[in-house]
Amino acid sequence: MTVPPRRRAALGAALVATLMAAGCGGSGSDDGTITLDLGLFGTFGFEEAGLYDEYMEMHPEIRIQEESVERSADYYRALQTRLAAGSGLADIQGIEIGFVADVVANHADAFVDFAARDNADEILGHYYDWKVEGSTTADGRVVGLGTDAGPEAMCFRRDLFEQAGLPTDRAELAQLWSTWEGYLELGRQYEASPTKPEGSAFLDSPASVFSAAVYQGQTAYDDEDGNPIPESSDGVATAWQHASAAAGEGMTANLIQFGDEWNSAFANGAFATISCPAWMLGYITGQAGDEGEGRWDVAPLPGGAGNWGGSWLGVTESSEHKEEAIALVEWLTAPEQQVRMFTEEQHFPSSQQAAEDPEVATATSEYFSGAPVGQIFGSSAAALRFTPIGPYDTQIQEAFTNALSTVAEGTGPDDAFQAALDEIEQVVGG
């Protein structure tokens, strides 16, 4: 294509002008309203549950704008860049468990300290202790208020279990897989069953065992001070032992979690169990569709309580409307709203008060064969204790789960463990 030079110059000038205009955008409030920006990731579900509309009705002077990035990893990249540059932050930023330790250790100053608020007891008192500990710095600052939590259970396919001749009663299964050894034993039975559906595996991925079991140890990936100790942690050692057994014995479908094949596998019955934090129920419902109704069920997690995921909302110090933002965060995370987030969006409360509310505690799920999900996830949440977390947990976990996939493909467990440690060295080493 040839553009006449004069035209080309005009195009160039227009481009420069556009870039400059884009660089200095600002939110003006000429009609007296205050716009609060929320920078979030994934599906927090406030909008879907109608909480923004309700809040704006109660406070006509407030307008709420949410900007959401699908993957939390992408969100975190952008957040880190903005924190480093000290500009471009929203009034309210979502903080996920995967990077809360980094925020607590390195960026606490950029966020409002909720522990220093006059009503600190009221806004922090209704939480599970482990939730508040996760967002507390060494010197006692609290960088965010908890939204949901990810207490874990084990989801299973009743129909596949039945075909393979395994028990389908929740209470009986809870007994049989009270330990991971028991769970693996059931897996061996499933794989050996001549009547199990062809092409189905006992579990989706070794990551299902590993990322659940690792937080059941005294330590997971880090010591008390948040320093990575992947080689000496008891949580890693037990989780690796069970997960590599599952992988090596070929009872996993060896799918990469959150990959395309994994997504399709929900509807296709490629696996019979998956460890599921409360938020995964919504994910399963979405992937398996209407046909999955009544086929899935939920039982307690092997090996005791576990947690996967959960978030906080922080208010940035750079916000021009700090007080209004704090008020909104307090309201969104208050027990009443957490109850609603569970009943409407299946986000389990990190507020103990909300979790003990009858509406949550006695909730059952029609889709999951009438399982008492409120009670199952509630007792998991109540039994949790705080496991130290560190800034590199996400990368360390990915290194281990990647290595487990290679075990399922035939690599020896010891070689794979060493490969994971090498990969981790890339992250934590200088």
Partner 1 sequence: MTIASDDPRVAAAAAPPPAPPPGPPVRRRRRLTRNRWGYAYVAPFFVLFACFSLYPFLYTAWISLHEVRLSDIDGAEFVGLGNYTALLQNEFFWNAARNTLTIGVLSTVPQLAMALGLAHLLNYKLRGRTFYRVAMLMPYATSIAAATLVFAQLFGHDYGLINTLLEAVGFDRVDWESGTWTSQFAISVIVTWRWTGYNALIYLAAMQAIPGDLYEAATLDGASRWQQFLHVTIPALKPTILFTIVVSTIGAVQLFGEPLLFSGNGMTSGGVSNQYQTLGLLMYDQGWTNFHLGQAAATAWAMFLIILVVVGGYALLARRRARAER
Out of 50, 88, 125, 259, the residue judged to bind partner 1 by CB under 8 A: 259
Q: Tell me the C-alpha distance between 284 and 272, whole Å.
A: 13
Q: Tell me the C-alpha distance between 142 and 122, whole Å.
A: 14
For partner 1, the closer of residues 108 and 326 by Cβ is 108
> Considering only 121-129, 304-312, 334-342, 398-406, which stretch makes contact with partner 1 by CB under 8 A?
398-406
Out of 171, 192, 258, 323, the residue judged to bind partner 1 by CB under 8 A: 258
> Considering only 8-16, 141-149, 212-220, 234-242, which stretch makes contact with partner 1 by CB under 8 A?
8-16
For partner 1, the closer of residues 205 and 333 by Cβ is 205
Q: ∠ CA 240-134-378 to the nearest 5 degrees?
A: 75
**What is the C-alpha end-to-end distance of the chain, expressed in Å?**
49
Is 391 an interacting residue with respect to partner 1 (CB under 8 A)? Answer: yes
Contact in structure between 203 and 213 (CB atoms under 8 Å): no
Contact in structure between 408 and 153 (CB atoms under 8 Å): no
- Per-position DSSP letters for 284-324, written without gaps between them: HHHHH-GGGTTTEEEEEPTTS--EEEEEEEEEBTT-TTHHH
> Considering only 46-54, 123-131, 374-382, 399-407, which stretch makes contact with partner 1 by CB under 8 A?
399-407
Binding mask 340-379 for partner 1 (x = CB under 8 A): ----------------------------------------
Contact in structure between 330 and 123 (CB atoms under 8 Å): yes
Helices vs. strands in the chain: H and E counts, helices first: 20, 9
Name 78's Cβ contacts closer than 8 Å, sequence gap at least 6. Answer: 69
Is 414 an interacting residue with respect to partner 1 (CB under 8 A)? Answer: no
Out of 46, 184, 406, 413, the residue judged to bind partner 1 by CB under 8 A: 406
Is 260 an interacting residue with respect to partner 1 (CB under 8 A)? Answer: yes
Q: ∠ CA 235-108-143 to the nearest 5 degrees?
A: 75
> Considering only 252-260, 328-336, 339-347, 374-382, which stretch makes contact with partner 1 by CB under 8 A?
252-260
- Per-position DSSP letters for 367-400, written without gaps between them: TTTTB-HHHHHHHHHHH--PPP--TTHHHHHHHH
> Considering only 13-21, 110-118, 151-159, 347-355, which stretch makes contact with partner 1 by CB under 8 A?
13-21
For partner 1, the closer of residues 58 and 85 by Cβ is 85
Is 409 an interacting residue with respect to partner 1 (CB under 8 A)? Answer: yes
Q: Tell me the C-alpha distance between 345 and 281, whole Å.
A: 10
Q: Tell me the C-alpha distance between 153 and 137, whole Å.
A: 29
Contact in structure between 360 and 268 (CB atoms under 8 Å): no
Q: Tell me the C-alpha distance between 156 and 273, whole Å.
A: 4
Is 5 an interacting residue with respect to partner 1 (CB under 8 A)? Answer: yes
Out of 18, 33, 264, 418, the residue judged to bind partner 1 by CB under 8 A: 264
Is 412 an interacting residue with respect to partner 1 (CB under 8 A)? Answer: no
Binding mask 77-116 for partner 1 (x = CB under 8 A): x--xx-xx-----------------x--xxx---------
> Considering only 128-136, 146-154, 277-285, 422-430, which stretch makes contact with partner 1 by CB under 8 A?
422-430
Q: Tell me the C-alpha distance between 340 and 360, whole Å.
A: 9
Using CB atoms within 10 Å of the CB of residue 231, give its burial: 0 to 12 exposed, 13 to 18 middle, 19+ buried: exposed
> Considering only 68-76, 136-144, 334-342, 364-372, which stretch makes contact with partner 1 by CB under 8 A?
68-76
Phi and psi, residue 355, nearest 5°? -65, -30
Is 418 an interacting residue with respect to partner 1 (CB under 8 A)? Answer: no
Using CB atoms within 10 Å of the CB of residue 249, give its burial: 0 to 12 exposed, 13 to 18 middle, 19+ buried: middle
Out of 137, 163, 287, 402, the residue judged to bind partner 1 by CB under 8 A: 402
CB 69 to partner 1: min, Å: 12
For partner 1, the closer of residues 16 and 120 by Cβ is 16
# residues contacting partner 1 (CB under 8 A): 47
For partner 1, the closer of residues 34 and 421 by Cβ is 421
Is 265 an interacting residue with respect to partner 1 (CB under 8 A)? Answer: yes
Contact set with partner 1 (CB under 8 A)? 5-6, 8-9, 12-13, 15-16, 19, 71, 73-74, 77, 80-81, 83-84, 102, 105-107, 256-262, 264-265, 268, 270, 391, 395, 398, 402-403, 405-406, 409, 411, 419, 422-423, 426-427, 430
